[in-house]
Amino acid sequence: MKRLVVAGALVAAAQVLGATGALAGPWEDGMAAYNRGDYAPAIQLFRPLARGGNARAQAAIGAMYRRGQGVAKSSAHAFMWLSLASARGDTRAKAEMEEMSHSMSADELARAREMMRACEASDYRSCEY
């Protein structure tokens, strides 16, 4: 009888958690914060993902630097993160990066490319944020 009660309690807990306790991950939490306009928490959630090589997070950070959302607006930082995302196959990041490059000076582009190389060489530990 005791086993039946425990099993019943576990089933009930699973149903309650399944119905209301679906947990979001860092990406979903970051996007929820971003969509609310809470850019600083969003970028804090995206950074570890970007360091782990997540192209979507890298593209999101690049877009946020481009628009100055939660960070100081910076073409070089935006280009760096969009380039990293593009190298991982994010086609939207590639298009945004190419569009940006037309309005950047040669010095800005060189700085962004050097930042990207340093970031990749450090395995994302020494990326400028």
pLDDT tens-digit map of 70-103: 999 999 999 999 999 999 999 999 999 999 999 9
Assign 5 a pLDDT band (cuts: 50, 70, 90): very low
% the chain with pLDDT above 90: 65
**Separation of alpha carbons 61 and 86, rounded Å:** 13
**DSSP strands (E only) in 1-129:** none
Global pTM value: 0.77
**Residue burial 6-40, b: 16+ Cβ < 10 Å; e: rest:** eeeeeeeeeeeeeeeeeeeebeebbbebbeeebbe
Assign 18 a pLDDT band (cuts: 50, 70, 90): very low
Least confident of 14-18, 48-52, 105-109: 14-18
